[in-house]
Chains A and B, each alone.
Chain A
Amino acid sequence: MFKISDLQSQEASLRGLKARSRIILFFLIIISLAGVIQIVKLTVIDQENYVTESEKNRIIRVPVYPARGLIGLAKDNKLLVENIVAQQLTINSKSTTDIASTIVDIQKTIGIPEEVVRTFYKVLSSNPRNRNITLMDDLTEEQVAKYLVNKERWPSSNLEAYLKRYVIDNSLFSHVVGYTGAISSQEREDDEEYRYAINSRLGKSGIEKTFENELRGKVGYRTVEVDVHGKEVRELDKVLPSKAKNIFLSLDQELQELARKGLRGRKGAVVAIDPNNGLVKVLVSSPDFNPNIFNETAKGNLRSLSSDTNAPFFNRAISGNYPPASTLKPFLGLLGLESEIISWNTEIKDEGFFQIQDEGRKYRGWKEEGHGIVDLNKAIIESSDVYFYELASKTTVDQIHSFLKLFGFGQKTGIQLTAEEEGVLPSRNWKLGRTGDSWFVGDTINLGIGQGYITTTPLQLAVAVSVLATRGKAYKPNIVEKVNTTFIEPELLYQIEIKEERNWKKLEESMISVIRSWNGTAHNIYNPEDFLIAGKTGTAQIKSLTEENLTVQEEYENVRKDIKKRDHAIFVGYGPVPNPNLTVVVVVENGESGSAVAAPIAKLIIDRYQKLQESDV
């Protein structure tokens, strides 16, 4: 069938084909070797790495956050801050190819403020691989309805229920409970134990912040297997979170309301503590704010409050530094007695002014014509400035500094709230450090009436006055009465011993007379049928009056034209005597009169507290 030549050419072509095949095979074998080496490298040499990689791919730990602890009042376990269910709209940044058009559509359909969208994009850009990013918190019912009708259009969006922090009494306890805010990127970086989710809110001020650990609880976690879309496939392991603790405050709702009403929105603060254990019954700073605005997605309200020049976020009760003014006089009187510079019988002639030397500067008292012959008792009752100028001139700043320090001036009380200030208890070194000037005698004279460099917070003053009420016992002010069901023990900071124990009583009598006596500066609040109250008024000068050709009244008339330069009204007091159970400090900024403005608020609170105590028993 075939010719010989055919066979020969067949042979030749077969040989040629085989030769060429070998060339191709040679190259293909080299490539195959590379492939085999790579496969062996992957499956044998680097296997462990890749096993870890694939585990990392599929197994993720999902933290389980316990619901945030509640804040309430120890009295009747009344709730102040709770968690309520709200709806939030989240966007999955991975599963949508065009987030922008989805967002625009959602925004148009359900109505989302532009700034909320802007915030979303900020979060999105800083967390590119994050799975669910909140677009908007706290949707209204209408928004939820509109979303549900159209949700097929936005497969990457999701409606999630979450617990929203809700402050029940709005502003009433705002400066105590504080507020929560979204976790910042810094806080997340510092959070090495993954206690917070990306959209966690944590305490930013007040009890919410100081008791953050208790309120947060301990995070649990679930180990779950996920697919490439991050969708959960099954649960592998679960560690339950431990329940957060509830915090119960010692505050009294009625007294809070009374104090708030008394301040009538004026700038100021009211602090009331039980001198026998340091429990804080009233802590009001005015103006205040509604903590719920921090949980709103739209920040308009928050912004307007932040720019309010009356500083509603400023907690005047523990952060406000005020000159104690005449309320410091009982303490200085006690200093005089202790250091035996004066006795109860020491008398001076008050002619309305004091001079160190005959030709020196005149330190004027608040009463132009003076108080006449004045002893310590009368000096406290009528608040004679000249008596205390003279007393101060006989002491040194060092003596005043170390004595007042005993009562807690110039130191934080350690209350469990944020942003407590320590006030200023001046000393020679302090002044040198602050102003570069050495201490002058004149500075000490000013200190004698609680003016000049000395400042104190209302809470500090309340602690100091409580020491007078308890005859030397100083308790740490405590605003948290119990955590869950565990009561917090009162903490006695120290006990002041004085040489003459009866001086406590005599000082108290003078302070009672401030109210009871016809010439007392706070006689206006006296009611013979009520409990006895020991107190002291103070009027803190913002602007010192130095023009000697004008009378004090004339000069002040000019000063008070500027409301912000008007004096602060202060009243400190405790009652009922004997056995006081409440110390009250009232500061009304630019309120001018400690007796007319501040004292009535304090009296109302002490009286109401007695009625409440009776009804409780």
Chain B
Amino acid sequence: MSKRVLDYNLNRPFSSSGISLSFIFKDTVLVFSVLTVLVFGLFMLYSASGQSESMVIRQSVYVVLGFMGMLFIAQINPNSYQNILMNLYWIGLIMLIYVLIFPDDSHVTKRWIDLGLFSFQPSEVIRLILPLSVAAFLTRKELKPKYSDWFISLAAILLVSFLIYKQPDLGTSLIVFTSGFLPVFLTGFPLIFIFFGIAFLGALSPIIFSALSAYQQQRILTLFDPNADPLGTGWNIAQSKTAIGSGGFFGKGYLSGTQSQLDFIPESHSDFIFAVIAEELGLIGISILFLAYALIIYRIFSIAYGSETIFGRLASASIGFIFLIFILINVSMVVGIIPVVGVPLPLVSQGGTSLATHLLAFGFVLSVKRKSGW
């Protein structure tokens, strides 16, 4: 491994003015798109937090650290991550078991680990670590995975999903399962199994629904009739829709969203920050954000498809999909077409764990770019 890193360092191209920006950034479009979204996110966070400077400063620290981490990771040969990523699974598993055994009293669900200086949510980390671990595991040999590899992966994914479901957090559990399943699917897992699996789940769905806890059932039911419970779960969705709708095409102006500034939007700084953006910046603001997201995703897939190693390709594509899926889930939730689940808007919502893991993942994608640049 150390020899490869050395290889890589020896072959760094130099420019006359020293190390060029494009060399550090690897993919200038991707890095600048990410940077744009990050800065945009900080501005929106300022508005959404009720103009709380301390919250923005705290988030900025994560942004800077995450961004630097991303650039650092980008400089290293991606293949050197393969073993680490595979083993990260075990660390994730231990963290999940830890939060189940030693729940944090300050939160309703057992999702947090307190490290003194800062606390973080293992499930936020897991949903990026898991697909990367699975991708690393499936591509540890340069061959098409065997059935045994897929089923070992599935077992590992189900175990993690189950632990998160026990927190209890059904939404995240489903999301983690989906992200873990992505590399399995992408490596050509036979479709017939998937059809059987879906048919099986469909048959079982009434039983599963009755096994859900009351608040999970309520969340699902509220989706079908948000007005049924205007001050409960549905109230959040109704207020969020009101914010987005009243923003209209041009928005009400930065810091001028009445729904946002007067606290009508629940969790406006975290999961519902999209509603704030829509209210204040309107359809135009959303479109710009989506454009930046689209660029990021486009660049990730370009890098993925250009990768020489199956591992780099699979892991990058998984990251691209997960990023897209997170955006879709968050936006769909905020606009009220899926139930409320705890998924932040990537790179924008307040929360260091999610921000950092995404940036580090992008760092990995950037490192893949280097290989293809050869």
Question: Which of A's residues lie within 8 Å of B, judged by CB?
Answer: 6, 9-10, 13-14, 16-18, 20-21, 23-24, 28, 31-32, 34-35, 38-40, 42-44, 46-47, 49-51, 53-55, 57-58, 225-229, 233
Contacts and interface: CB of A to CB of B under 8 A. Distances in A.
B245 A49 contact: yes
Contact of A28 (B242, B282, B301, B328): B328
A14 B242 contact: no
A13 B144 contact: yes
B246 A47 contact: yes
A40 B308 CA distance: 41
Interface string B281-317: 0110010000000000000010011001010011001
B242 A53 contact: yes
Contact of B328 (A35, A46, A229): A35
B371 to A, nearest CB: 12
Contact of A47 (B188, B245, B317): B245
Given A53-B242, A57-B258, 6 more contacts: A14-B305, A44-B248, A44-B249, A44-B283, A47-B248, A226-B262
A49 B242 CA distance: 8
Contacts of A16: 144, 187-188
Interface in B247-267: 247-249, 258-259, 262-264
- Can you list the 3 inter-chain pairs with the closest CB atoms, starting with the nearest? A50-B245, A54-B246, A42-B245
A50 B244 contact: yes
Given A49-B245, A57-B264, A227-B262, A38 B335 contact: yes
B72 interface: no
A24 B182 contact: yes
A31 B327 CA distance: 11
Nearest to B243: A54
A50 B336 CA distance: 14
Contacts of B80: none
A560 B155 CA distance: 104
A18 B316 CA distance: 13
Interface in B170-195: 182, 185-188
B132 to A, nearest CB: 16
Given A16-B188, A28-B324, A53-B246, A42 B259 contact: no
Given A35-B337, A228-B263, A24 B321 contact: yes
B278 A43 contact: yes
A453 B60 CA distance: 94
B246 A39 contact: no
Given A9-B142, A16-B187, A47-B245, A54 B182 contact: no
B185 A20 contact: yes
A64 B230 CA distance: 29
B331 interface: yes
Contact of B247 (A18, A31, A43): A43
| Most chain A CB within a 10 A radius of its CB, from B182, B259, B286 | B259
Contacts of A55: 258
Interface in B138-152: 142-144
Nearest to B333: A35
A42 B335 contact: yes
B242 to A, nearest CB: 4
Contacts of A46: 245
Contacts of A24: 182, 185-186, 321
Given A43-B278, A225-B262, A233-B262, A38 B246 contact: no
13 contacts: A6-B142, A13-B144, A13-B313, A20-B188, A21-B301, A28-B325, A39-B244, A42-B278, A50-B241, A55-B258, A58-B259, A58-B262, A227-B263
Interface in B193-249: 239, 241-249
A40 B278 CA distance: 11
Given A13-B144, A17-B186, A43-B244, A54 B258 contact: yes
A50 B242 contact: yes
Given A24-B182, A53-B242, A43 B263 contact: no
A9 B308 CA distance: 11
A43 B258 contact: no
B283 A43 contact: yes
B52 interface: no
A566 B321 CA distance: 101
B109 interface: no
A9 B310 CA distance: 10
Nearest to A21: B317
Contacts of A233: 262
B331 to A, nearest CB: 5
Contact of B335 (A6, A17, A35): A35
B263 A54 contact: no
B316 to A, nearest CB: 10
A6 B337 CA distance: 45
Contacts of A49: 245
B332 interface: yes
Nearest to A229: B263
Contacts of A39: 244, 278, 283, 286, 331, 335
Interface string B108-133: 00000000000000000000000000
Contacts of B144: 9, 13, 16
Contact of B317 (A17, A57, A225): A17
B338 to A, nearest CB: 9
A8 to B, nearest CB: 12
| Most chain A CB within a 10 A radius of its CB, from B186, B245, B262, B308 | B245
Nearest to B191: A23
A30 to B, nearest CB: 10
A53 to B, nearest CB: 4
A342 B340 CA distance: 98
B310 A13 contact: yes
Contacts of A53: 242, 245-246
Contacts of A51: 245-246, 248
Contacts of A13: 144, 187, 310, 313
B143 A9 contact: yes
Nearest to A37: B337
A58 B331 CA distance: 24
Contacts of B185: 20, 23-24
Contact of A10 (B239, B246, B247, B308): B308
Contacts of A6: 142
A29 to B, nearest CB: 10
